[in-house]
A and B are shown apart, each in its own frame.
Chain A
Amino acid sequence: MAAELMTVEVATATAAGMKAIGAGIAVGLTGIASGIGEMAIGSAAVGAVAENKDMFGLALVFTVLPETIVIFGLVVALLIMFQ
């Protein structure tokens, strides 16, 4: 009986841990992806702004475009954790 109870508890805990790991992976990997995306755009954007300050708005828009990827990761993580 006791052993069975332990197993159920362990299973619940494992499930919770797996959820946390899943959420972590979702945010982590998408964060890396966003970073890789923004790396090239960001350096080019800074160059463009240095040449012409009027480019700032457009440069900012281009730079934050890949940000959506990590936001999706964050949303997925939130859904895993709280739903």
Chain B
Amino acid sequence: MFHPESMSRLLIVASKQQLEPVITELYQMNIFHIDDYIEKEDDEWEGFRIGMPLAGADVSSAALVKIRSIASAFGISKDTVSDSERSSILELKRRIEEDLPDIAEEVEKLLASRNKLESETKEYEQKIDSLRPFTDTPAPLELLRGFDTISFIAGYAKEPVNVSVPHEKWESSSKTANLTILVVKNSDVSTAEKELLDFQFQKIQIPQETGPASQIIQECEQKIEELKKKIAGISAQMETIKNRHEFFLMSSEEFLTGSVEQAEAPLRFATSEHAFSLTGWVPSSKVSKVFENLDRVCAGKVYISELEVEDYNEMPPVEYQNPDIAKPTQLFLDLYSRPRYTELDPSLVMSILYPFMFGLILGDIGYGLVLLVVALGLRSFVKDSEAGTQLLGIVRNCSISSIIFGVLFSEFLGFSLPWQPFWLSRHINIGGSGTAEHALEEATTHGMAAAAEHATHIPELLVLSIWIGIFHITLGRLWGVRNSAVMDHGHHRSLKMFSHVGWLLVMWGILIAIWSFAAIPLMPDLTGSPAIIAGMNAPLIIGIILAVIGLLLIARENPLDLMEVPTIISNVLSYTRLIAVGLSSIAIAMVTNYIAIDMIISPQLKSLSIFGIVLVFVGIVVFIIGHIGNTALGALGGGLHPLRLHYVEFFTKFYRGGGRKYTPFGMVRRLIEQN
């Protein structure tokens, strides 16, 4: 629960004749995490080299590349194919040999001709673009070029142009710019062009075509139409091929991926001339299965042994071992860094505290229900993605917690419900006046009497959130002691453990000292203790002693850490965000209600008119948009802040991370039969 799955290290040695059966069996079992062999010059592995791929690896890879290129042309992937049926491996092998080359060739041909047609279409489109300006010209295009003594200059200008050299000019104005064609003597071209620059003249090429531009454009458009028909025909052909072979392509992709992985597995083994050897990790509960199965497939001609583990901190890969409720939270741990093998896995605690904090922030039945519906509704969209499923699991847990806190806080979309909040109320009085009577009066006129009736306990709630922080950080430090005890060695180990205790002592010392002179709601009141020495009472003295001992313990490990002591206070106070962010979300909800209902809808309903009905609808729209926005903000704030409290305030006390993920050699088959 608080520890990853226990792993055992196995060594497998056999002669090279057993290479294939061993790889196939390991791949089918899908439980063996291979440690890649790295060639090193030590005595233990002398004479061993990294292995060579099995025969056939290149053929499979080539076929796989072909299939993947076809798949990407078709835009299909494994996830889009239904896994209701499965292909048999023999049939697949036959079809990969016989059918695949034909399919690939056909698809390639179709793709090539489609590309050609598409580029032709583009050319015609470009031609049309270049011709478009000349549709209104008084002369056909062939008359705009090819003279010995005169030249044509065409282009756009923002204002009518004028040049000093002898010329003739044709202008047409449109909405965007004026097309101008100038005819000048060859000898005047450069002068004219220079002068045209002053008019911000943008020169364009006169197309090398014959006939009126509009007629050529029409011809081009006809050709494009024909080309598009041809392209559609090819696309339809490809669609038929796709529909016919989709399942075959994807199941053979799965099969070939497996074959290639198996064929390339020896690259991760140590091999000598006649033997091979590999080491790897298996969950301890499944060790006997590996022994039995390999013995069976190799008919006893394999040596397997469980190795002793030298350094548990670094070596074993980490696979979570948590009850179902904690599984979604593993996403957050992987996002931060997977725990190491020997350290405590905080998933379970986080899976309870994270939704708890979320609920405390967004404790509202309405928002909770919306998020619950979203989480359940999106489930079928992400069923193939593990992270997506985990994320929705977290959202589901959080929204349930949000509903529970909504009942406790008596809140529904910022309205108060007909019951009093349980224990502490966080109802606030938006737009209310200073005194309690005024507030009630004013709130009643706005129909929000319940909000003002319930006394707010915001200072108490802030103290409550500080208590959550104190316990969270204390737990973190205690786990820090445990992790240091297990993971550190030698002199450093005890220093580290005591420094964690030191941090705890400083924190509690400061707390006791504060209690001794300040009465805070919901916290022990020690101000009544009689003074003993120099006006200081017993709790203050105890607090100071604890803090000083703590500081000494911290300094013993590393004096520079003393610089961090103020973070004790800022870390604890940081938990007040649980209430502060929550209140801001209530405030937005109440303001939305106030604007939509009290300012727009209610006054209209009192004296209904046609214009009033329109305004009522406007009010409803404001209400809906306001609450959608607030749900998004609340979910984001409610999600990120507890995450930050865990990552920054909690994890920094004990968590190290950096564990290797357990990735067993093998795959879960979706589209092909097991055997």
Residues of A at the B interface (CB closer than 8 Å) are 12, 15-16, 56-58, 60-61, 64-65, 67-68, 71-72, 74-75, 78-79, 82-83
> Counting CB contacts under 8 A, is B454 at the interface?
no
Interface residues as binary, B569-611 with A (CB distance below 8 Å gives 1, 0 otherwise)? 0100110110111011000000000000000000000000000
Q: Are A57 and B574 in contact (CB under 8 A)?
A: no
A74 touches B581 (CB 8 A): yes
Question: Contact at A58–B458, with CB atoms within 8 Å?
Answer: no
Cβ B434 vs Cβ A15 within 8 A: yes
Residue of B nearest to A68 (CB): B574
Min CB distance, B9 to chain A, in Å? 26
- Judging by beta carbons under 8 Å apart, are A82 and B428 in contact? yes
Contacts of A12 in B (CB 8 A): 434
- Kindly state whether residue B289 has any CB partner on chain A within 8 Å: no
22 sample A-B contacts, Cβ–Cβ < 8 Å, listed by A number: A16-B433, A57-B337, A58-B336, A58-B337, A60-B335, A64-B640, A65-B648, A68-B577, A71-B576, A71-B581, A74-B583, A74-B584, A75-B573, A75-B576, A78-B458, A78-B579, A78-B580, A78-B583, A79-B458, A79-B459, A82-B456, A82-B459
- What is the minimal beta-carbon distance from A74 to any residue of chain B, in angstroms? 4
* Chain B min CB distance to A41 (Å): 13
Beyond A61-B647, A82-B459, list 13 extra A-B contacts (CB 8 Å): A16-B433, A56-B335, A57-B337, A60-B643, A67-B644, A74-B580, A74-B584, A75-B577, A79-B462, A82-B428, A82-B456, A82-B458, A83-B459
Question: How many Å lie between the Cα of A79 and that of B576 in the bound state?
Answer: 12
Q: Check A64 against B648 for contact (C-beta < 8 Å).
A: yes
A60 to B576, CA, bound (A): 20
Chain B contacts of A65 at CB under 8 A?
648
| A57 CA to B330 CA, complexed, in Å | 13
* Residues in chain B near residue A72, CB distance under 8 A: 573, 576
A71 to B642, CA, bound (A): 13
**Smallest CB-CB separation from B646: which chain A residue?**
A61
Determine the distance from Cα of A16 to Cα of B581 in the docked complex, in whole angstroms.
Answer: 23
CA distance A65 to B644 in the complex (A): 8
Q: How far is the CA of A72 from the CA of B569 in the complex (A)?
A: 12
Taken together as a complex, chains A and B put the C-alpha atoms of A6 and B464 apart, in Å, by 40
Separation of A71 and B578 alpha carbons in the complex (Å): 9
Q: Which residues of A contact B577 (CB under 8 A)?
A: 67-68, 71, 74-75
Q: Which residues of B contact A82 (CB under 8 A)?
A: 428, 456, 458-459
Helix, strand, loop or mixed for chain B's interface? helix
B457 to chain A, nearest CB (A): 9
A16 to B576, CA, bound (A): 24
Instruction: Report chain A residues within 8 Å CB of B336.
Output: 57-58, 61
Residues in A with CB closer than 8 Å to B644 are 60-61, 64, 67
Q: Which 3 pairs show the lowest CB-CB distances between chains A and B?
A: A57-B336, A74-B580, A71-B577
Taking the nearest CB of chain A, how far is it from the CB of B469, in angstroms?
12
Question: Which residues from A are CB-within-8-Å of B640?
Answer: 60, 64
In the complex where A71-B581, A74-B581, A78-B580 touch, is A61 in contact with B648 (Cβ < 8 A)?
A: yes
**Residue among A12, A74, A75 with the most chain B CB within 10 A?**
A75
Nearest Cβ in chain B — how far from A16, in angstroms? 5
Dominant secondary structure at the A interface: helix
Residues of A within 8 A of B573 (CB): 72, 75
Pick the residue among A15, A58, A75 that contacts B580 (CB under 8 A).
A75
Can you name the residue of chain A whose Cβ is closest to the Cβ of B575? A71
Contacts of B579 on A, CB cut-off 8 Å? Answer: 78
Instruction: Please determine whether A57 and B335 come into contact, CB atoms closer than 8 angstroms.
Output: yes
Complex CA–CA separation, A16 to B439 (angstroms): 13
Cβ contacts under 8 Å, B428 to chain A = 82
Determine the residue in chain A with the shortest Cβ distance to B580. Answer: A74
Bitwise interface map of B from 638 to 668 toward A, beta carbon under 8 Å scored 1, else 0: 0011011001100000000000000000000
- Chain B residues near A15 (CB, 8 Å)? 434
Interface membership of chain B positions 306-349, coded 1 if the CB is closer than 8 angstroms to chain A and 0 otherwise: 00000000000000000000000000000111000000000000
| Interchain nearest-CB distance for B311 vs A (Å) | 23
- In the complex, the chain B residue whose C-beta lies closest to that of A73 is B580
Which residues from chain A contact B584 at a C-beta distance below 8 Å?
74
Known A-B contacts A68-B570, A74-B580, A75-B462; the reply to A16 vs B335 at CB < 8 A is no
Q: How far is the CA of A65 from the CA of B337 in the complex (A)?
A: 18
Closest-CB distance, B225 to chain A (whole angstroms): 44
Cβ-closest chain A residue relative to B652: A61
Shortest Cβ gap from A18 to chain B (Å): 11
> B481-502, CB under 8 A of A: which get 1 and which 0?
0000000000000000000000
Nearest CB in chain A to that of B333: its residue: A57
| Complex: A57 Cα to B640 Cα, angstroms | 11
Nearest CB on B from A82, distance (A): 4
Q: How close is B112's CB to chain A, nearest CB, in angstroms?
A: 35
A71 vs B637: C-alpha distance when bound (angstroms): 12
Which residue in chain A gives the minimum CB-CB distance to B462? Answer: A75
A16 to B442, CA, bound (A): 15
In the complex, chain A residues whose CB is within 8 Å of the CB of B337 = 57-58
Q: List, in ascending order, chain B residues with CB within 8 A of A71's CB.
A: 574, 576-577, 580-581
Neighbouring A residues of B458 by C-beta, 8 Å = 78-79, 82-83
A55 to B384 Cα, complex, angstroms: 24
CB <8 Å contact, A16 and B434:
yes
In the complex, A56 Cα to B335 Cα: how many Å? 7
List of B residues within 8 angstroms of A78 by Cβ = 458, 462, 579-580, 583
> Shortest beta-carbon distance, B321 to chain A, in Å?
21
A15 to B435, CA, bound (A): 12
Contacts of B647 in A (CB 8 A): 57, 60-61
CB of B665 to closest CB in A, whole Å:
22
Q: Determine the residue in chain A with the shortest Cβ distance to B657.
A: A57
CA distance A61 to B643 in the complex (A): 9
Expressed in whole angstroms, the Cα–Cα distance for A47 and B573 within the complex equals: 31
Q: How far is the CA of A74 from the CA of B580 in the complex (A)?
A: 6
Q: Give bound CA distance, A68 to B645, whole Å.
A: 10
B residues less than 8 Å from A79 (CB atoms): 458-459, 462
Q: How far is the CA of A65 from the CA of B643 in the complex (A)?
A: 12
Q: How far is the CA of A67 from the CA of B637 in the complex (A)?
A: 11
Compute how far the CA of A60 lies from the CA of B434 in the bound complex, rounded to whole angstroms: 40
Complex Cα–Cα for A62 and B661 (A): 24
Interface centre among A15, A56, A65, A78 (most CB of B within 10 A): A78
